[in-house]
Amino acid sequence: MTGIHFAEAVPALIAIGRRLDARGWAPATSGNYSARLDDGSFAVTVSGTHKGRLDPDGIMRVDAAGQGLTSGKPSAETALHLALYRMFPEAGAVLHGHSPQAVGLSRAASEAGEWVFRGHEMLKAFPGVASHEGEMRLPMIDNSQDMAEIEARVRPALTAPGATPAYLIRSHGLYAWGKDLDEAERVLEATEWLIAAELAERNFRKALSR
């Protein structure tokens, strides 16, 4: 069984919360993070906490069905994390950020089922991508309070060949994952950077065309 020990996961998740909050990707009580543990259970952030100010009580353990193994109420979106761990047995960590740019993109492109990034050097940050000369397709799906519905809607795009380990829920933000917390954080950061870069490019183009 792959995965890290709970005692290792707790400080790592606390540190990630501080970093993502510092970037503006975890305002108020938004965002939730998880890691696969070495005993087959999962460390997840508890519901309703500020992710920039997590303490050890803000991280709990759940089993593969989402039942709490330690005290606390798991994040309402734990089901989405567990769905990703089921879909991708090699995934060791899942991070959900709630940045204004990602949410803004998903709402502005309200009919779009994906956003395509092309030609960015940053594409090399994604696992298995060796050149900037590819395309990255970021799936975008509508929000729902029904986690099973979100899972069913996004599954085809996520399991397609060459799919990116990230997707965007409309009005809600990014989900990113990787083989461990470092890789998941890199995917989240690179995807956020791509969105911010395209927004900046769009603004410059508009300014320069006048």
Partner 1 sequence: MTQLTVYTLDGEPVLETEEPARIAGALATIGVRFEQWPSRALPAGAAQQAVLAAFASEVGRLKAENGYRAVDVIRMTPDHPECGTLRSKFLSEHRHSEDEVRFFVEGEGLFTLRDEDRVYAVLCREGDLISVPAGMRHWFDMGPSPRFTAIRLFVDPAGWVANFTGDAIADRFPRHEPA
Give every CB contact of residue 72 below 8 A, 6+ residues apart in sequence: 46, 47, 57, 60
Residue 9 main-chain phi, psi, to 5 deg? -65, -35
Residues that bind partner 1 (CB under 8 A): 108-109, 111-119, 137, 140, 202, 209
Using the structure block, give the residue that is written with the tokens 């009005």.
171
Nearest distance from C-beta of residue 5 to partner 1, angstroms: 41
Closer residue to partner 1, CB minimum distance, 6 or 175? 175
Find out whether 2 and 39 touch, Cβ atoms under 8 Å. Answer: no
Query: Any known ligand binding at 98?
Result: yes
Nearest distance from C-beta of residue 101 to partner 1, angstroms: 15
Closer residue to partner 1, CB minimum distance, 25 or 115? 115
How many residues in the chain? 210
Closer residue to partner 1, CB minimum distance, 86 or 107? 107
Using the structure block, give the residue that is written with the tokens 């005692």.
7
Closer residue to partner 1, CB minimum distance, 125 or 157? 157
Find out whether 197 and 107 touch, Cβ atoms under 8 Å. Answer: no
Beta bridge partners of 97: 174
Q: How far is CA 29 from CA 53, 151, 176, in A?
A: 10, 23, 18
Annotated binding site for Zn(2+): 96, 98
